[in-house]
Chains A and B, each alone.
Chain A
Amino acid sequence: MVHALEQIGRLLKADGILIDIQPRRETALGEVHQAGRVIFAEPFPDQEDSWEDIRHAQAAFSEAIGRGLLELEDHRDFDFVVYGDSTAELQEALEAASAYSTSVQDPDERLRWLAFAARVQEAAVSAGPGTQVAYREPVRMSRLRKPI
């Protein structure tokens, strides 16, 4: 990761800007919305692995900043939300966009994911018509600058 940041720094012109968009180490949720309100929310299963990836990425950025490759200037935190009619539709779209990989190989993890998706879908169905399911992920967008 530090090597990738070195390469980005090399490709940027002096005073060039890097925008980094990454999930925050906070709980991503599966939600059910109805009439503009969240009527069900449950944390995604097994998020600790992705949090570990985020921690490594943050460490790499800290190292790159510490070495003077980049300067951190500003950031914005927000929730990135994706809506769909069903968990199956949402999962397919997220995988297609490479935004979230649910291609879980571990059988236990896969079962936990399927059970989670079933609970969200059940909550949507039992709430009646007019529901949407949603994926909510806390995100940080940062602006860094290559020093002159």
Chain B
Amino acid sequence: MTVRFDPEGRETLALSDLIDFAGRGVLEIGCGDGRLTWRYAAQARHVLAIDPFAPSIERARLALPHDLQERVEFHHIGFEEFASAARDSSFEAAIFSWSL
């Protein structure tokens, strides 16, 4: 058996209860290896997912499904650096994911 994250789907259920991603441009902060990204990206208009941990971003890029390649971008960058260069009012939604 391989390691299984949240096979009961509790996180996905909570997410779908709280937000409808349809038509939204999403910034995901602390995306890691894209584990959560895959669970909602197909519904969003566009996803920009960032993480300061390079190996995680590399795994996310390698695992990016073909049908999401036009919709999802992964960037190896910390949030502060990203935010300093990003324009105001760029996203309809943001996910601050396990990023204390």
Contacts and interface: CB of A to CB of B under 8 A. Distances in A.
B29 A8 contact: yes
Contacts of B1: 83-85, 132
A53 B36 CA distance: 22
Interface in B25-55: 27, 29-30, 32-33, 35-36, 51, 53, 55
A2 interface: no
Nearest to A19: B95
A110 interface: no
Contacts of B19: 17, 19, 143
Interface residues of B, number: 45
A125 interface: no
B18 A143 contact: yes
Interface in A68-111: 74-76, 78-85, 89-90, 93, 96-99
A83 B5 CA distance: 7
A11 B100 contact: no
Count class of interface residues, chain A:
35 or more
Interface string B82-97: 0100111111111111
Nearest to A137: B98
A14 interface: yes
A29 to B, nearest CB: 15
A28 B32 CA distance: 21
A90 B2 CA distance: 9
Interface in A6-55: 7-8, 10-14, 16-23, 50, 53-54
Interface of B: 1, 3-8, 10-11, 13-15, 17-19, 24, 27, 29-30, 32-33, 35-36, 51, 53, 55-56, 59, 79-80, 83, 86-98, 100
Interface of A: 4, 7-8, 10-14, 16-23, 50, 53-54, 56-57, 74-76, 78-85, 89-90, 93, 96-99, 132, 139, 141-143
Task: Name the 6 nearest CB pairs between A and B, nearest first.
Answer: A76-B14, A93-B3, A7-B83, A78-B10, A143-B18, A84-B3
